Amino acid sequence: MIEVTNIRKAKRGDEQALMGLVQELADFEKAPDEVINTPEQLAIDLFDDQLCDCFVYEVDGVIRGMALYYISYSTWRGRCLYLEDLYIQPEFRRTGIGLKLFQILVDEAKKLGVKRMDWQVLDWNESAIKFYEKIGATLDPEWINGRLFF
């Protein structure tokens, strides 16, 4: 059976599948109870308020991966693109799709005229670290993340 794959921008109606991927990612990152977002809020943020945007990877019409991002700002550089989550379901990894999805995001960053693209990777996620090193990304050990929850 031939699988039909597609990468496209997220559209209204994708929010349930996207939140399913978000939960899978949280489970993988050993933080399953940290997700408090909802499909309804994600739809508002993506499509109404346009706070973020997302590319999705489909196999036979089913979303199997995503790259969710937003525009951030650097006082040193100006506009930046922040990759919040790049996630591909495990059974679809190591097929080159992560690289394709990442490249589409790089192309989007260039189209938007940003000066830098940022993301985080957990220090124990060796496969992700190897992926980013393979594409020539700089992984900066100097910065410590700060965070407040409200």
Domain presence at residue 74: yes
Total domains present in the chain: 1
pLDDT in tens, the chain (150 residues): 678 899 999 999 999 999 999 999 999 999 999 999 999 999 999 999 999 999 999 999 999 999 999 999 999 999 999 999 999 999 999 999 999 999 999 999 999 999 999 999 999 999 999 999 999 999 988 888 888 888
Domain presence at residue 147: no
Euclidean distance between CA atoms 48 and 27, whole angstroms: 28
Q: What pLDDT does 25 receive?
A: 98
Q: What pLDDT does 1 receive?
A: 66
With the C-alpha atoms ordered 149, 146, 73, 109, is the resulting torsion angle positive or negative?
negative
Q: What pLDDT does 84 receive?
A: 98
Tell me the residue length of the chain.
150
Q: What pLDDT does 141 receive?
A: 86
Domain presence at residue 142: no
Q: What pLDDT does 22 receive?
A: 98
CATH code, domain carrying 100 = 3.40.630.30
Find the domain containing 17 and state its range. 5-134
Nearest CA-CA partner of 69 in 40, 111, 31, 36: 111
Nearest CA-CA partner of 25 in 88, 81, 94, 83: 88
pTM: 0.93
What residues are labeled active site? Answer: 132
Domain presence at residue 108: yes
Domain presence at residue 149: no
Task: Please calculate the CA angle 43-32-8 and round it to the nearest 5 degrees.
Answer: 35
Domain presence at residue 11: yes
